[in-house]
Chains A and B, each alone.
Chain A
């Protein structure tokens, strides 16, 4: 099958899956116990107030009608207003999304780059002390409890040594000062990014290292590696030019999916570091039954995951000539 036909077929599949997700999301929130008004524990809110508010939010309509409005609004690009912020959902998401991308996408790319590099070395030096220590280190880092590591980082580098800010994304004092230039502001954000980035990197790079190491070990058993050696190629060339590109294929899939999911941020990391990303908003929206915000956030993630899956599939064909569509 031609790549064009394959992509077209996948687009149709994506379209169908997307509508299934759209419907499941709608049902999931409505069928969950409680609604946004029930959660308001305020004795000054009378039952009549609650009913009035529910009617204004359109939640008193039959579920079928709500679903039709939901689909119609979605098709016209209107995701509605958050029940708690009052603002349009898209404005909330767009204000948070760049913060999430800056931190989480950077952390995934960085940990993938380092993980692949170290995994390559570990597999090449299989059975040596280097391999043992790298594998052990990767396992330990990968299994660390993220909030604990985050708190430890904050305590040591933010509080005890004081090199980095305890939390947040910027220093208000710098951003409120009219004399602060752009570079100072950029440095300020980078300064705030160090601890959360280091935490995320420590947790994630281990999984890429282990994945790359295991994939590389399989690749090294292939006949073409033996052929390359028989041809008298340098070990470095065999490792970097013949083995590593083929071994990196599973890592490409993993990074692709992780990048897509990075848009959802990480509620734990964002909470501990008070990073104003989308992860915390997502948790807030779900726990407070803020349907429009939760639905739109999940839809965004679903869209990116579906598309990145397609990109990874196409990329596979490009990276591995054995794969054809």
Chain B
């Protein structure tokens, strides 16, 4: 009995302690902090290693580029630079003047830092950065605030990718790179360097990283944009502290948002949550566009998809509106070109729009017509003599051989239900045409290995969630030189005319002339259909409105540096 009493007493003490604790911190909310939920913890703050989205999100608030895109016009505007870049075609050089700026330790940011960044990227061949810097022949720094880049040849991506790369501090990285240089594998040593306190010049600095639990960023008092007008906006930051917490599932993140534990979940929210969130008057939902591409890719190296007529027939048959309304629940837009329509400057509206505005039967009839004209035959044609649509059977290629079974590779439903479901729908539509098809969801790594590594596939559905604003990826995706193992021309597209225009566009420094070339490239691609763009999912983001306001909408959502520089506490009157 004594034992029992003693046990009960201990239990009571523990329970009472916890309850007291609950009561004491039940409503403990510190309004100074802007609290942001992330779906995963960032992996690293080493800018040269960071490849995951969450590390990049944090690093983008710390390290800054020379030029940045205006959130409204999407034009490049001077950020660390003080004015427009001065390009000299005669010497193939470009001069950039820097704003007066300091690193987060108070030391001056100078042209030497820009030159150092370039030399480090080139020397170590840092992946993801190297392709945007390798053509820089020489950099001159006539004074502390002037940088002159000499290019080996004109390169369009110099303006859009090189000048938008983050600049690092020579002071921070000189010793690290020196140490890495002496190693047997210098790049490995560089990317494996543990960065505890990244030194940037952006609006925030890393105050503390509680591994696995939180990330605390503080306002950088040396931020060059502080109280300055850039892009027509007087920048802050107007919040002193950012607190990032991890929410492993969207369900819990949504509850945290409703409860007030976080002010923003920095990740797209699934349409299924929207009705529930709309009921909360303190939550606002932003409906944004993404710079994304979700597409059906064909293998042009072998039959049957080496035949453009079959690809066109499939393009007509795929009902994008159905996929958007039924699978994406209307939260997405139809795509008809490789470049998303949100990327207004480069998007070409005058491309072939397959199957636009026609119903299911008309699609089948049109697809049948394309194939019949190209010499395909059927045991039972999908359109009978009376013009009625019937289930087709036994399709034969123009050479009389039966068409082999087609496999459509997709990521598994737990990775992306939209793509897995789209694959199943396309499989069914192909069957109506008499084509034996099977959608095969497979592990993402295995899918990429098969499509990008070994090129053993018929068709696949993949997507790029964050395409660069520069359209040079068109060249990467479809230039014949990239049809190789690990190359981005996964379809094996080979068109000398396209290659010629792509090469011309890559070296065209005049944006208007380049725009014409990029439009031309889009038209060629949509005529040959190596990829069939299907949809661009809407970006749904939710924020609390009772604590902070001033979020800035742009392509790819409200989670951008402009928002973090302009958001302010609702009752705050001054920064």
A49→B128 contact, CB < 8 A: yes
Contact with B along A17-40 (1 / 0, CB 8 A): 000000000000000111101111
* Known contacts A34-B445, A38-B452, A154-B252; A56 and B476 CB within 8 A of each other: no
The answer to the question of A315 belonging to the interface, with a C-beta cut-off of 8 Å to chain B, is no
Which stretch, A6-14, A184-192, A198-206, A208-216, touches the partner chain B? A184-192
* Known contacts A38-B448, A86-B49; A191 and B18 CB within 8 A of each other: yes
* A41 contact set on B, CB distance < 8 A: 448, 462, 464
A38→B187 contact, CB < 8 A: no
Q: In the bound complex, what is the Cα–Cα distance between A190 and B131 (angstroms)?
A: 50
- B residues 9-38 in Cβ contact with A at 8 Å: 17-18, 21-22, 25-26, 28, 30, 33
* A176 contact set on B, CB distance < 8 A: 208, 216
The answer to the question of B130 belonging to the interface, with a C-beta cut-off of 8 Å to chain A, is yes
- B residues 242-268 in Cβ contact with A at 8 Å: 243, 245-249, 251-252, 255-256, 258-259, 261
The answer to the question of A271 belonging to the interface, with a C-beta cut-off of 8 Å to chain B, is yes
The answer to the question of A99 belonging to the interface, with a C-beta cut-off of 8 Å to chain B, is yes
The answer to the question of B199 belonging to the interface, with a C-beta cut-off of 8 Å to chain A, is no
The answer to the question of B552 belonging to the interface, with a C-beta cut-off of 8 Å to chain A, is no
Which stretch, A157-165, A219-227, A239-247, touches the partner chain B? A157-165
B18, B44, B161, B212: the one contacting A187 at CB < 8 Å is B18
Shortest distance from the beta carbon of A165 to any chain B beta carbon, whole Å: 8
CB nearest to A290 among chain B residues: B43
- A residues 79-128 in Cβ contact with B at 8 Å: 81, 84-87, 95-96, 99
A173→B28 contact, CB < 8 A: yes
Q: In the bound complex, what is the Cα–Cα distance between A56 and B189 (angstroms)?
A: 9
A274→B21 contact, CB < 8 A: no
B132→A166 contact, CB < 8 A: no
A151→B251 contact, CB < 8 A: yes
B51→A84 contact, CB < 8 A: yes
B125→A49 contact, CB < 8 A: yes
Q: How many residues of A contact B (CB 8 A)?
A: 65
* A319 contact set on B, CB distance < 8 A: none
* B464 contact set on A, CB distance < 8 A: 41, 43
A50, A58, A164, A271: the one contacting B249 at CB < 8 Å is A271
B187→A172 contact, CB < 8 A: no
Shortest distance from the beta carbon of B289 to any chain A beta carbon, whole Å: 19
B248→A86 contact, CB < 8 A: no
* Known contacts A84-B44, A95-B211, A194-B18; A43 and B258 CB within 8 A of each other: no
The answer to the question of A291 belonging to the interface, with a C-beta cut-off of 8 Å to chain B, is no
A43→B468 contact, CB < 8 A: yes
* B21 contact set on A, CB distance < 8 A: 187-188, 190-191
Q: In the bound complex, what is the Cα–Cα distance between A168 and B215 (angstroms)?
A: 13
* Known contacts A49-B131, A166-B255, A168-B213; A280 and B248 CB within 8 A of each other: yes
B22, B127, B258, B444: the one contacting A50 at CB < 8 Å is B127
Shortest distance from the beta carbon of B261 to any chain A beta carbon, whole Å: 6
Interface centre among B21, B193, B453 (most CB of A within 10 A): B21
A86→B213 contact, CB < 8 A: no
B449→A34 contact, CB < 8 A: yes
- B residues 439-498 in Cβ contact with A at 8 Å: 443-446, 448-450, 452-453, 462, 464, 467-468, 473, 476-477, 482, 484-488
B125→A52 contact, CB < 8 A: yes
B252, B448, B473: the one contacting A272 at CB < 8 Å is B252
B445→A38 contact, CB < 8 A: yes
* A86 contact set on B, CB distance < 8 A: 43-44, 46, 49, 191-194
Q: In the bound complex, what is the Cα–Cα distance between A255 and B13 (angstroms)?
A: 28
A173→B33 contact, CB < 8 A: yes
* A131 contact set on B, CB distance < 8 A: none
The answer to the question of B214 belonging to the interface, with a C-beta cut-off of 8 Å to chain A, is yes
The answer to the question of A155 belonging to the interface, with a C-beta cut-off of 8 Å to chain B, is yes
Shortest distance from the beta carbon of B343 to any chain A beta carbon, whole Å: 14
- B residues 187-239 in Cβ contact with A at 8 Å: 187-188, 191-194, 208, 210-214, 216
The answer to the question of A175 belonging to the interface, with a C-beta cut-off of 8 Å to chain B, is yes
Q: In the bound complex, what is the Cα–Cα distance between A276 and B215 (angstroms)?
A: 13
The answer to the question of B185 belonging to the interface, with a C-beta cut-off of 8 Å to chain A, is yes
Q: In the bound complex, what is the Cα–Cα distance between A53 and B126 (angstroms)?
A: 9
B487→A47 contact, CB < 8 A: yes
Q: In the bound complex, what is the Cα–Cα distance between A17 and B462 (angstroms)?
A: 41
Q: In the bound complex, what is the Cα–Cα distance between A37 and B188 (angstroms)?
A: 14
Shortest distance from the beta carbon of A113 to any chain B beta carbon, whole Å: 12
A159→B259 contact, CB < 8 A: yes
CB nearest to A169 among chain B residues: B213
Q: In the bound complex, what is the Cα–Cα distance between A86 and B161 (angstroms)?
A: 25
A40→B51 contact, CB < 8 A: yes
* A169 contact set on B, CB distance < 8 A: 212-213
* B259 contact set on A, CB distance < 8 A: 158-159, 162, 166
B33→A43 contact, CB < 8 A: no
* A2 contact set on B, CB distance < 8 A: none
B255→A168 contact, CB < 8 A: no
* B18 contact set on A, CB distance < 8 A: 187, 190-191, 194
A84→B43 contact, CB < 8 A: yes
A43→B22 contact, CB < 8 A: no
Shortest distance from the beta carbon of A41 to any chain B beta carbon, whole Å: 7
B477→A173 contact, CB < 8 A: no
Q: In the bound complex, what is the Cα–Cα distance between A167 and B446 (angstroms)?
A: 33
Q: In the bound complex, what is the Cα–Cα distance between A272 and B255 (angstroms)?
A: 12
A46, A50, A154, A172: the one contacting B255 at CB < 8 Å is A154
B contacts, CB < 8 Å to A: 17-18, 21-22, 25-26, 28, 30, 33, 41, 43-44, 46, 49, 51-52, 125, 127-128, 130-132, 161, 185, 187-188, 191-194, 208, 210-214, 216, 243, 245-249, 251-252, 255-256, 258-259, 261, 443-446, 448-450, 452-453, 462, 464, 467-468, 473, 476-477, 482, 484-488
Q: Which 7 A-B pairs have the closest CB atoms?
A: A276-B212, A34-B445, A172-B214, A271-B248, A33-B446, A49-B127, A33-B449
Besides the known contacts A43-B476, A151-B252, 14 further A-B residue pairs in the complex with CB atoms under 8 A apart: A34-B445, A34-B446, A43-B488, A47-B488, A49-B130, A53-B187, A56-B191, A58-B185, A158-B255, A166-B252, A169-B213, A188-B21, A191-B21, A274-B247
9 contacts between A and B (CB under 8 A): A33-B449, A34-B444, A50-B127, A52-B187, A53-B127, A169-B213, A171-B28, A187-B18, A272-B248
